[in-house]
């Protein structure tokens, strides 16, 4: 299958389990610095293995700059082929993102990317997934840490010149898979 006949895919990944916040320190800096737990690192690696086994190597990655999201992506990347995910964008607006912010981030994604991995936080990731495919009951279980949702852009394999990230909306993508490997 050629690159142009491959559907555009969006993979939403909630960061893996992170250490608890410091008691009494509610600063953004403290929250941004929280690393993954050992279990979180293993869960993120399982996500990477699952993506690899399912042929879902991202062309571009949109990632929150928080330590736990970057560590999640690093563990995922360790299980992917070396040539995948060469383009990584740390996007501050993904941290504590609302739905509108995540829509803007996706619409600004590189137009040539066929598969995008967005690594972020709840409740933004859950809200975004529900907006993309609000009818799918699989999303009713919510996004636990290290959960993956794979969306396919409708028609992007048939009319690649007329589909893009810049003009996607809630009618453009449909849930293909929701899992927590």
Contact 42, 73 (CB under 8 A): no
pLDDT at position 1 is: 45
Average pLDDT rounded to a whole number, residues 131-152: 90
Q: Which CATH superfamily is domain 3-20+28-179 in?
A: Phosphoglycerate mutase-like (3.40.50.1240)
Distance CA 44, CA 74 (A): 8
Contact 134, 157 (CB under 8 A): no
**Is the whole model's pTM more than 0.85, yes or no?**
yes
Every domain of the chain and the residues it spans: 3-20+28-179
Contact 3, 133 (CB under 8 A): no
Reply yes or no on whether the pLDDT at 35 is more than 70. Answer: yes
Q: What is the pLDDT of residues 99-139, one digit of tens each?
A: 999 999 999 999 999 999 999 999 999 999 999 988 888 88
Beta bridge pairs of residue 151: 10, 175
DSSP 34-58: PPBPHHHHHHHHHHHHHHHHTT---
């Amino acid at each position: 299958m050629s690159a142009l006949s491959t559907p555009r895919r969006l993979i939403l990944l909630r960061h893996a389990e992170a250490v608890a916040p410091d008691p009494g320190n509610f600063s953004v800096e403290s929250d941004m610095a929280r690393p993954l737990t050992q279990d979180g690192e293993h869960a993120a690696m399982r996500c990477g293995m699952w993506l690899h086994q399912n042929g879902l190597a991202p062309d571009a990655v949109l990632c929150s700059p928080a330590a736990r999201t970057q560590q999640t992506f690093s563990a995922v990347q360790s299980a992917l082929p070396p040539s995948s995910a060469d383009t990584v964008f740390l996007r501050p607006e993904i941290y504590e993102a609302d739905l509108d912010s995540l829509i803007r981030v996706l619409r600004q994604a590189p137009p040539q990317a066929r598969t995008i991995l967005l690594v972020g936080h709840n409740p933004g990731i859950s809200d975004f997934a529900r907006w993309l495919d609000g009818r799918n009951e699989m999303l009713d279980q919510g996004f636990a840490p290290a959960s993956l949702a794979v969306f396919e852009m409708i028609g992007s394999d048939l009319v690649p010149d007329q589909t893009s990230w810049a003009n996607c909306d809630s009618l453009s993508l449909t849930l293909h898979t929701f899992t927590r490997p």
